[in-house]
């Protein structure tokens, strides 16, 4: 089914192996922590084992060993020896399970490998541990006997004479011979465990392989020896009518770009035109013939190329700001100077987890500048920011360029493109389509009313945080409400409270009878759980033939599918769809579920004008069917003529900016 | 969600100022003492010491988690089973032996969990990661890949909040899925099956989601031109660190000897 995707080779882990090892460690640690607190340790241990199995199926053994070691070290934090043991068991059985899955081994061979590798250390460790920890052994065994004695007292009078003594004899016999009885029991448990891991792991691994494809090794560039600073600089470079290839596919052909020192170039184009791929080629991440360069790109090295990406939280590597700047930088890097040049003076010891999106992007730019690059590549770096943050970043890019660094950025936003000296458009040119006016005749009766709603996270704890304060709002059927606010204004919490995912700590959310509220999060893929579009739609809608409600949803489904133009995609795999199509699947499912209010959380992030227009049309269609739509976004650029109300969320308080109702 | 219970409480105190590795090692020593010598004396000593440190660390009582009701009922059921067993000692003619054994085992678990909380409440994740990395650093002399492991530890610290966020979104999404009706007994199994298959789908979504994050991180490393985390800054060893370790190790030694 799946092949081992990376050959067994020696040598240290590459970037993707390190990152996958760390992500698996973090995930298993979280699972074990939740298990410990919910006293459901075994269930979460099994999930953790499956996580390691997926890692083992996709990576070298070395990756798994390091990941398990990291997990075991962190689980000291959870107290006692239990969680450490759990992480090691998860590692052993995850590794055997993953290796068997990757090689498509039969059940007997899978179980055999698990018993060969997993059982001996577990049995030996248990015997060794209980041989030393005599007091704990006595206590644990006494408790087993006590529980039996207590239990048998209850059912002995019910007509099972002799059961008590027989059971007690059996148990004490087992406990007397525990050095044999325990390992034998563990042998059977190990076999069952291996079977369960195989079964669960196979489904999860298939899902992961479908969604992510094979592991693409990311290689670091070695600094070439013998090249001087100037000679090694990547500029000037040029592409003349070059076809850009990614993994054997031509993404874009006929690209012509040239970049000289201190240039300021913008790459424009619609979603999917290959803008990011072009930047990867310039960075040297994707080898492509036809690029004429002065020197190697030297990505991330001093005097070479620096790269900043779209997702602010995705590119931070260290827990503190200063450490993040130092990651990979020259030993004598001036952290304060780098921070000063992006307006983050005094941020050295701040935790990166507490920075806003705009601050994170500035930090990424600071890390880039610390390498004194001759070329800075910026891939849609403003698309996740609010207008204020976007303006600051644009100003910074201009400043950086003024200091003699060549800047190449991609964007689909006109404001960003205006900052550049030169705009190169790739793919078909964007057509800006006039918005069709949609008046407000659809607005009907109130369906959802919020009264004095406040929301506090972790109320009563010292880290309590009030994010919503005294919100009053009435949503009417068929209306389109736009709720704007900067990053960190409480928008996400507001969306979750509206959708009923969080119960307000004060105030009430009242729904008219028959009203149901659904939410669509920013990344549609996270919300689509099934592999095939058809089954996903049924699951999302709750459509089935078991009762009235389910049948009604089943009947509504074809219309929802039709109105969102998904008729041809029913047999497709969810992971083969584009982001926009995934979002339409999600909306169709929610519509068929009978949602009368749909909350869209940041629906515009990363969409180009055409994508935005498509989404606006989908929303119009929802409204024609009486569904109210609430768009929660930092992006106020939704066609205002279509919106019935614009509200602004500022530090948890809601105010009306414009209202037609 | 629940991992929030173990988050650090930013109150300055002598306990917080201890080095992370001193706290870590002390806790390992104390856990060993408790596990190898789970007598009432030892458990009581650990509990009293814990409460004292809780006060010294100026931690508010509000941070103590409330146990889930499911757990409380489970523990109560076990207690009934154990107390029916009777045995010495007898008080007013009732044999309390079984119950006492049971309570000792449960209290042991709670004390261990409390100490884990002490470490988490007084140590930031970033510090803890740095502490672990300083601890493993000397092992490089044995030829172990400590730099590689150190980098994995550093990225794990970074990955924990990302993973928590993915888990939260997927949990929210899974909870809002409509489930088939559970009213008919025949369909009970179908509902169970549905729940099970939804759980697997959710697991796939979490693993896929977190793997995407991992791609971002890998790319970021490549963009920085380095796959090794900068060494954490060295820290001076202070008297309090030595004291904490000495007490914990002394307890362990005592527990082994007596």
Q: What is the pLDDT of residue B52?
A: 93
Residue A362, C-beta contacts closer than 8 angstroms, at least 6 positions apart: A342, A343, A344, A392, A393, A396
How many beta carbons lie within 10 A of that of residue A346, not counting itself? 10
Residue A410 backbone phi and psi in degrees, to 5: -110, 150
Rounded Cα–Cα distance for residues A463 and B121 (Å): 11
What is chain A's alpha carbon radius of gyration, rounded to the nearest angstrom?
29
Q: What is the pLDDT of residue A229?
A: 42
Rounded Cα–Cα distance for residues A136 and A359 (Å): 52
Between chains, do B38 and A135 touch, taking CB under 8 Å as contact?
yes
Between chains, do A22 and B216 touch, taking CB under 8 Å as contact?
no
Q: What is the pTM of this model?
A: 0.85
Q: Find the length of chain A.
A: 661
Q: Give the one of A30, A151, A496 whose C-beta lies nearest to B81's C-beta.
A: A151
Q: Is residue A598 a contact partner of residue A500, using CB atoms and an 8 Å limit?
A: no
What is chain B's alpha carbon radius of gyration, rounded to the nearest angstrom?
23
Q: Is residue A374 a contact partner of residue A403, using CB atoms and an 8 Å limit?
A: no
> Residues of A with CB below 8 A from B105's CB?
139-140, 143
**Any B CB within 8 A of A345 CB:** no
B250 or A80, which is more confident? B250
Domain boundaries, chain B: 3-257
Question: In which element (H, E) is residue A545 found?
Answer: none
> Residues of B with CB below 8 A from A78's CB?
6, 116
- Give the 3-state secondary structure of residue A532: strand
Q: What is the pLDDT of residue A412?
A: 74
Q: What is the pLDDT of residue A299?
A: 87
Residue whose tokens read 């920013």 = A522
Residue A248, C-beta contacts closer than 8 angstroms, at least 6 positions apart: none
Closest CA to A408 of A436, A373, A434: A373
Q: Is residue B77 a contact partner of residue B13, using CB atoms and an 8 Å limit?
A: no
Rounded Cα–Cα distance for residues A151 and B98 (Å): 12
Q: Which residue of B has its CA nearest to A44?
A: B203
**With helix as H, strand as E and coil as C, how does chain B read?**
CHHHHHCCCCCCCHHHHCCHHHHHHHHHHHHHHHHHCCCHHHHHHHHHHHHHHHHHCCCCHHHCCCCCHHHHHHHHHHHHHHHHCCCCCEECCEECHHHHHHHHHHHHHHHHHHHHHHHHHHCCHHHHHHHHHHHHHHHHHHCCCHHHHHHHHHHHHHHHHHHHHHHHHHHHHHHHCCCCCCCCHHHHHHHHHHHHHHHHHHHHHHHHHHHHHHHHHHHHHHHCCCCCCCCCCCCCCCHHHHHHHHHHHHHHHHHHHC
Task: Flag whether pLDDT at B110 surpasses 60.
Answer: yes
Give CA torsion, residues A374, A380, A385, A391, to 10 deg: 60
Between chains, do B148 and A66 touch, taking CB under 8 Å as contact?
yes
DSSP letters along A219-269, please?
A: -PPPPPTT--TTTT---SEEEEEEEEEETTEEEEEEEEEEE-TT-EEEEE-
Q: Find the length of chain B.
A: 258
Which residues sit opposite A476 in a β-bridge? Answer: A446
Mutate to test the interface with A, among B220, B255, B256 (most CBs of A within 10 A): B220
DSSP state of A650: E
Summarize the confidence of residues B82-100 as an average pLDDT. Answer: 74
Q: Give the one of B34, B156, B163 whose C-beta lies nearest to A74's C-beta.
A: B156
Q: What is the pLDDT of residue A161?
A: 66
A residues 602-661 near B, CB within 8 Å? none
A residues 171-230 near B, CB within 8 Å? 200, 203-204, 207-208, 211-212, 218-221
- Give the 3-state secondary structure of residue A485: coil
Residue whose tokens read 């054997």 = A248
Task: List the alpha helices (DSSP H) in A520-655.
Answer: 524-527, 533-541, 548-563, 579-593, 609-624
Residue whose tokens read 């919910």 = A38
Mutate to test the interface with B, among A29, A34, A327, A381 (most CBs of B within 10 A): A327
Q: What is the pLDDT of residue A223?
A: 52
> Which token pair is A468?
């919503």
**Any B CB within 8 A of A249 CB:** no
Q: Which portions of chain A are predicted below pLDDT 70?
A: 1-9, 155-161, 216-232, 246-249, 251, 271-272, 428-443, 606, 636-641, 660-661
pLDDT digits (tens, 9 = 90+) for B4-50: 556 778 788 888 888 888 888 888 888 888 888 888 888 999 999 99
Rounded Cα–Cα distance for residues A407 and A422 (Å): 11
Q: Chains A, B: CB contacts under 8 A, how many?
A: 369
Summarize the confidence of residues B211-233 as an average pLDDT. Answer: 86
Q: Is residue B13 a contact partner of residue B236, using CB atoms and an 8 Å limit?
A: no
Q: Is residue A393 a contact partner of residue A358, using CB atoms and an 8 Å limit?
A: yes
Q: Give the one of B32, B84, B151 whose C-beta lies nearest to A18's C-beta.
A: B151
- Please tell me whether the peptide bond between B89 and the residue prior to it is cis, using omega within 30 degrees of 0: yes
Q: What is the pLDDT of residue A437?
A: 42
Beta strands A645-650 and A653-659, pairing class = antiparallel
Between chains, do B221 and A19 touch, taking CB under 8 Å as contact?
yes
Q: Which residue of A has its CA nearest to B147?
A: A12
Q: Give the one of B86, B163, B179 whose C-beta lies nearest to A23's C-beta.
A: B163
Q: What is the pLDDT of residue A446?
A: 87
Between chains, do A461 and B151 touch, taking CB under 8 Å as contact?
no
**Any B CB within 8 A of A529 CB:** yes
Q: Is residue A18 a contact partner of residue A219, using CB atoms and an 8 Å limit?
A: no
**Any B CB within 8 A of A322 CB:** no
Closest CA of chain B from A353, distance in Å: 8
Model ipTM value: 0.89
Between chains, do A132 and B36 touch, taking CB under 8 Å as contact?
yes
Rounded Cα–Cα distance for residues A446 and A425 (Å): 46
Q: Give the one of B2, B80, B158 whose C-beta lies nearest to A319's C-beta.
A: B158
Q: Evaluate the CA torsion angle A519, A524, A530, A532 in order and state its sign.
A: positive
E strands, A262-332, are: 264-268, 291-293, 305-308
């Amino acid at each position: 089914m799946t092949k081992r995707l990376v050959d067994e080779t020696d040598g240290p882990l590459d970037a993707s192996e390190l990152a996958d090892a760390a992500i698996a460690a973090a995930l298993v640690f979280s699972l074990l922590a939740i298990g410990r607190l919910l006293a459901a340790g075994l269930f979460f241990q099994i999930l953790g084992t499956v996580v390691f199995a997926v890692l083992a199926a996709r990576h070298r053994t070395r990756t798994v060993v390091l990941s398990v070691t990291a997990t075991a070290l962190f689980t000291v934090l959870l107290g006692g020896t239990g969680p450490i043991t759990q992480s090691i068991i998860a590692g052993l059985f995850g590794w055997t399970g993953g290796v068997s899955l990757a090689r498509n081994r039969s059940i007997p061979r899978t179980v055999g490998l698990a018993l060969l590798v997993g059982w001996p250390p577990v049995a030996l460790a248990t015997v060794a541990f209980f041989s030393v920890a005599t007091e704990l052994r006595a206590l644990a065994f006494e408790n087993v006997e006590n529980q039996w004695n207590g239990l048998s007292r209850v059912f002995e009078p019910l007509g099972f004479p002799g059961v008590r003594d027989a059971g007690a004899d059996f148990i004490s016999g087992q406990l007397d011979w525990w050095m044999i009885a325990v390992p034998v029991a563990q042998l059977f448990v190990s076999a069952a465990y291996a079977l369960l891991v195989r079964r669960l792991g196979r489904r999860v691994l298939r899902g992961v392989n479908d969604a992510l494809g094979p592991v693409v090794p990311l290689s670091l560039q070695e600094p070439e020896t013998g090249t001087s600073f100037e000679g090694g600089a990547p500029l000037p470079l040029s592409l003349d009518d070059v076809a850009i290839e990614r993994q054997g596919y031509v993404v874009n052909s006929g690209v012509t770009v040239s970049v000289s020192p201190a240039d300021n170039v913008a790459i424009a184009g619609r979603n999917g035109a290959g803008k990011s791929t072009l930047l990867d080629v310039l960075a040297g991440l994707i080898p492509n013939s036809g690029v004429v360069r002065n020197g190697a790109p030297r990505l991330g090295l001093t005097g070479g190329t620096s790269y900043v990406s779209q997702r602010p939280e995705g590119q931070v590597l260290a827990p503190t700001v200063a450490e993040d700047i130092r990651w990979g930088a020259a030993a004598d890097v001036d952290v304060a100077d780098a921070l000063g040049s992006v307006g983050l003076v005094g941020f050295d010891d701040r935790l990166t987890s507490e920075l806003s999106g705009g601050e994170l992007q500035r930090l990424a730019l600071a890390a880039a500048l610390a390498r004194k690059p001759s070329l800075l590549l910026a891939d849609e770096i403003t698309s996740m920011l609010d207008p204020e943050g976007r303006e600051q970043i644009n100003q910074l890019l201009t400043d950086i360029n003024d200091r003699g660094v060549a800047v190449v950025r991609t964007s689909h936003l006109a404001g960003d493109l205006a900052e550049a000296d030169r705009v190169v458009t790739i793919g078909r040119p964007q057509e800006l389509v006039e918005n069709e006016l949609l008046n407000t005749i659809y607005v009907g009766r109130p369906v959802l009313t919020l009264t004095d709603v406040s929301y506090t996270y972790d109320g009563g704890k010292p880290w309590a945080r009030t994010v919503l304060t005294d919100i009053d709002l009435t949503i009417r059927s068929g209306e389109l409400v736009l709720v704007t606010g900067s990053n960190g204004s409480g928008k996400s919490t507001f969306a979750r409270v509206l959708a009923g995912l969080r119960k307000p700590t004060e105030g009430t959310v009242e729904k008219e009878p028959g009203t149901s509220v659904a939410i669509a999060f920013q990344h549609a893929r996270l919300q689509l759980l099934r592999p095939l579009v058809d089954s996903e739609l049924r699951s999302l809608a709750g459509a089935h033939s078991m009762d009235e409600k389910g049948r009604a949803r089943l009947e509504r489904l074809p219309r929802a599918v039709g109105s969102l133009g998904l008729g041809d995609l029913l047999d497709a795999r969810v992971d083969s769809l584009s982001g926009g199509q995934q979002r339409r699947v999600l909306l169709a499912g929610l519509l068929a579920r009978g949602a009368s209010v749909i909350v869209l959380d940041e629906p515009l992030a990363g969409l180009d004008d055409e994508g935005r227009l498509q989404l606006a049309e989908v929303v119009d269609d929802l409204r024609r069917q009486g569904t109210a739509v609430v768009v929660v976004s930092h992006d106020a650029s939704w066609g205002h003529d279509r919106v019935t109300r614009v509200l602004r969320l500022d530090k948890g308080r809601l105010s009306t900016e414009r209202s037609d109702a | 969600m629940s991992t929030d219970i173990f988050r650090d409480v930013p109150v300055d105190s002598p306990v917080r100022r201890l080095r992370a590795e001193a706290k870590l090692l002390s806790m390992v020593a104390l856990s060993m003492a408790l596990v190898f010598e789970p007598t009432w004396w030892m458990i009581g000593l650990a509990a009293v010491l814990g409460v004292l440190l809780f006060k010294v660390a100026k931690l508010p009582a509000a941070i103590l988690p409330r146990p889930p009701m499911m757990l409380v009922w489970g523990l109560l059921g076990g207690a009934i089973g154990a107390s029916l067993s009777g045995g010495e000692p007898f008080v007013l003619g009732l044999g309390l032996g079984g119950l006492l054994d049971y309570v000792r085992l449960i209290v042991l678990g709670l004390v261990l969990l409390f100490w884990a909380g002490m470490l988490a409440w007084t140590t930031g994740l970033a510090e803890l990661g740095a502490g672990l990395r300083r601890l493993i650093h000397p092992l490089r002399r044995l030829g172990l890949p400590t730099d590689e492991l150190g980098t994995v530890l550093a990225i794990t610290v970074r990955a924990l909040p990302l993973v928590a966020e993915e888990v939260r979104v997927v949990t929210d999404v899974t909870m809002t899925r409509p489930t088939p009706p559970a009213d008919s007994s025949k369909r009970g199994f179908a509902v169970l099956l549905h729940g099970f298959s939804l759980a697997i789908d959710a697991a796939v979504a979490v693993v896929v989601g977190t793997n995407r994050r991992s791609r971002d991180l890998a790319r970021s490393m490549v963009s920085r031109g380095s796959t090794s985390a900068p060494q954490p800054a060295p820290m001076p060893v202070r008297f309090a660190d030595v004291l904490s370790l000495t007490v914990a190790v002394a307890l362990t030694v005592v527990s082994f000897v007596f």
